[in-house]
Structure 1
Amino acid sequence: MAQANTMTNTLAQTILRIAKEAGDKIMAIYDKDFAIYEKQDTSPLTEADLAAHNVIVDALGKESDLPILSEESADISWDERKQWQSYWLVDPLDGTKEFIKKNGEFTVNIALIEDGKPTMGVVYAPALNKSYVGIVGEGAWTEVDGEFTAISARKHDGAEVWKIVGSRSHQSPEIQNLLSQLEGETELVAMGSSLKLCLVAEGEAHLYPRLGPTSEWDTGAAHAVALAAGANVTVLDPNDPLNDNADALTYNQKESVLNPFFLVSA
C-alpha cells in the first residue's frame, strides 16, 4: 500500500495527542518505586489505569459527542450500546503484566468504531516512545518524536521463515496445530499487549493467532492499525485455523464484549 510518510488527518492527530497525554500520566506512576504502594489501598496499576482513563474520556468529550466504551467504564447496558452506530473504544492501559514487570510493552489504545468495524486507531507505547496510527482507507504509520513512517503488512514469500507473534509462555496445542499447517520453518516473535497486532501491521511478523481471551477494547485500536496497513483480522476456528473464508472480527454486535479467537494475517 503506497502512502505518504506524513500523516495529515487532523482527527487522528488529535487522538494521538490525547493518547500521549494519557501516556504521560501512566509514566509518572510507572517511574515511581512500586514498593511505596504497599501500605496503601491502591495499586500503581489501578492508579495509572484510572488516571489515563480520566484524561482520555475528558479530552474525547471535548472533541466529539460520540459515546465512549472504556475498560474502566464498561458497565453500559447492551440495550444502550446496541443503539450505537459509531463510538470510541478505549483501553487506557493494556498490558498489565508488562506494566508490573516494567518491560515497557504496555499501551494506550483509542479506536473509532463505525458500524461494527474499527476505522481509526491509535496505539501508544509510552515507555517505548512509539505510536501506531491507522486510518482505514488512508494508511498506517509509526510515529516517534513527531516523525511519521508509513508501514504495511508483509505477505510471506513462500521461502522465508514464518514469523509468528505469540506469548512468551508455553504455546498451547491449538497454536502447535496451526504451526504444523504452515510449510517451512517458524519463529516465535514475543511481544506484550496490543503491540502484537502492530507487529503484523508493520511487517515484522506474518501471523498473530490469538487463542485466548481478549475483550473488544484490547484489540480495537490495533485492529484499525492492522486493517489500515493491509492486514486481515478474522475469527479463528482452532480446527481450521488457516481458513481463507473466515469472518472478519467485529465490534459491539452482541451483549458480551469478549472477542472470539482471532487471527491477524498479512
Structure 2
Amino acid sequence: MINDKVRMYLLPPLFNAAVRAGAAIMGVYKNRDDYDISLKTDHTPITIADRLAHKTIREYLGPTRIPILSEEGREMRYDERRNWELYWLVDPLDGTVEFIKGNNEFTVNIALMENNVCMGAVVYVPYFGKMYVAGRDSGSYLKEGVFPSADASYTYDEIVTGWTPLPLPSAACHDHLRVAVSRSHQTPETHEHIARLRAAHPDLEVIEQGSSYKFCMLAEGRVDYYVRTTHTFEWDTAAGELILREAGGETRSLPDGGELKYNEEDLHNPWFVCRSKFCPAL
C-alpha cells in the first residue's frame, strides 16, 4: 500500500503536471482559429490542446517511472497493462466538446491508481484557477487561485497550505434538489431518469455542466445528484469519483448499483449516478 511518505512525494508531481497541462490548454484556448480539430476512431473530437496537454503530462510525470494510461496516449493492449500495480490514469483535456464551444467547462484529470483503486487524484479547472485534490481516506480539498503556469513547481507545503476541506458547508444551503447532467451528452434515458426524480421532487432544478467539473460541484455540495446515461471512459471518472467519495458522496453504476471498476479490458464505464453528501433520500 502507498504510505504517507510516498503520498507526500507524489502529490507535487501530480499537482504540477495538471497545472502545466492547464497552461498548455489555455495557450491554445486563446487562439480559437488554430485548434486543429480532427476526429478520433470513436468519432469524438480531438484538438491540438488535447495533444499538447498529454505531451506535457507525459514528460512531467515520466521521471516518476510510473506508467501512464492516457486518453491521448498510444492504445495499450490489455495484456500489457493488466498486471500494473501502480499507474497514472489521465484525461489531459476532459470536455473537449466544451473547449471547442468556448464555454470554459473543461478540466485536467489525473488519478494515481494502485491495484486498480484510485489512491490520489486531482481535477484542475484551468479557466477558473481551481484545483480539486483528494487522497484515499485523507479527505478532499479545493485550492483556489491556482492559475495555469508552464513551469509550475508547487511544493507539498505550498499545496496543502490554504486549501479548503470539502464539502463546503455554505453550499448545502439550498432548499430544492439540484441535478447535474452533461451539457452535450444527454439521451432519452437521461430525461426519463430526471422525470422520475421530478415526480417526487417537483421543484427539482436541472444544471447542465460539461466535463468532470460535475464531480467537483457534487463534492462542494452545490449540486446533489448527477446521472450519466451515455458512454464515458475510465479516465473520465477515476479522479472525480475519488474527490466526490472523500467529500462524503458516492458513485454507483446503473442499473445494478455497483462500484465502477478500473483497468478493465474494455475501458468504457457503465451508466452511473452520483450523490453528494447532502443529497436527500430519493
* Matching residue of 2:155: none
Please tell me whether residue 148 in structure 1 is matched to residue 159 in structure 2.
Answer: no
- In structure 1, how many angstroms separate the alpha carbons of the residues matched to 2:251 and 2:70? 21
The CA deviation string for residues 198-226 of structure 1, in whole angstroms up to 9 with x for no partner, is 11111111111110010111111111211
Q: Given the alignment, which residue of 217, 224, 228 partners 1:206?
A: 224
Change (3 A) 1:36 1:265: closer
Instruction: Using the TM superposition, give the Cα deviation of residue 29 of structure 1 relative to its aligned residue in structure 2, in angstroms.
Output: 1.0
1:170 shift after superposition: 8.6
2:186·2:229 contact (CA, 8 Å) conserved in 1? no
User: Which deviations, in whole Å up to 9, do the C-alpha atoms of 1:58-114 show, x marking residues without a partner?
Assistant: 11111x222110011141110111111221100101111111111111111100112
Equivalent residue, structure 2, for 1:47: 48
Residues 1:260 and 1:24: Cα distance change in structure 2 (over 3 Å): same
**Which amino acid is 1:225 matched to?**
I
The match for 1:216 is 234
User: Structure 1 residue 263: deviation in Å?
Assistant: 1.1
Structure 1 residue matching 2:266: 3-state secondary structure: coil
Counterpart position of 1:229: 247
**TM-score between both structures, scaled by the size of structure 1:** 0.83
Paired residues of 1:105 and 1:128 also in contact (CA < 8 A): no
**C-alpha deviation, 1:37, in angstroms:** 6.0
Aligned mates of 2:27, 2:144 — CA distance in 1: 19
Q: Look up the match of 2:154.
A: none
TM-superposed deviation, 1:180:
4.1
Residue pair 2:182, 2:228 contacting (<8 A) in 1 also: no
CA RMSD between the two structures: 2.7
Q: Is the 8 A contact 2:130 2:144 kept in 1?
A: yes
Looking at structure 2, the residues matched to 88 and 170 of structure 1 have their Cα atoms a distance apart, in angstroms, of: 26
Superposition map of 1:136-175 within 5 A? 136-145=136-145, 147-152=162-167, 160-168=175-183, 172-175=187-190
TM-score, normalised by the number of residues in structure 2: 0.79
**Corresponding letter in the other structure for 1:175:** T
Change (3 A) 1:170 1:135: closer
Q: CA separation of 1:37/1:204 partners in 2, compared to 1, >3 Å: closer, same or farther?
A: closer
2:79 & 2:269 partners in 1: Cα distance?
19
Residue 29 in 1 paired to residue 28 in 2? Answer: yes
Q: Distance in 1 between matches of 2:215 and 2:238?
A: 10
CA distance in 2, matches of 1:174, 1:202: 26
Q: Distance in 1 between matches of 2:185 and 2:78?
A: 36
Distance (Å, rounded) in 2 between the aligned partners of 1:122 and 1:113: 12
Task: Specify the code of the residue in structure 2 equivalent to 1:35.
Answer: D
Cα deviation, residue 52, structure 1: 0.9
Matches within 5 A, 1:55-66: 55-62=56-63, 64-66=64-66
2:115 and 2:143 mapped to 1: Cα distance? 28
Shift of 1:36: 4.8
> How far does residue 125 in structure 1 lie from its aligned partner after superposition?
1.1
* Distance change in 2, residues 1:16/1:169 (3 Å): closer
- The size of the alignment, in residue pairs, is 245
Decide whether the 8 Å contact of 1:213 with 1:261 is kept in 2: yes
Contact 2:219-2:247 within 8 A present in 1 as well: yes
Return the offset for 1:56: 0.6
When structure 1 is superposed on structure 2, of 64-73 and 178-187 the one drifting more is: 178-187
Q: Within 5 Å, which residues of 2 pair with 1:162-201?
A: 162-168=177-183, 172-182=187-197, 183-184=200-201, 185-201=203-219
Instruction: Look up the equivalent residue of 2:234 and give its one-letter code.
Output: E
Structure 1 residue aligned with 2:156 = none
CA 257–41 in structure 1, closer or farther in 2 if over 3 Å, else same: closer
Q: Supply the distance in 1 between the matched residues of 2:34 and 2:91 (Cα, whole angstroms).
A: 26
1:265 equivalent in structure 2:
275
Give the unaligned 5+ runs of structure 1: 1-7, 238-242
CA distance in 2, matches of 1:222, 1:65: 24
Report what 1:240 is aligned to.
none
What is the letter of the counterpart of residue 140 of structure 1?
S
* 1: CA distance, partners of 2:175 / 2:193: 17
Pair 180,225 (structure 1): closer, same or farther in 2 beyond 3 Å = same
Give the distance between the partners of 1:29 and 1:77, measured in 2 at CA: 31
Please list the CA deviations of residues 95-145 of structure 1 after superposition, one character each: whole Å capped at 9, or x if unmatched: 111111111111111001122222211111111111111112011111112
1:233 alignment partner, SS class: strand
1:82 alignment counterpart: 82
Q: Is the 8 A contact 1:45 1:100 kept in 2?
A: no
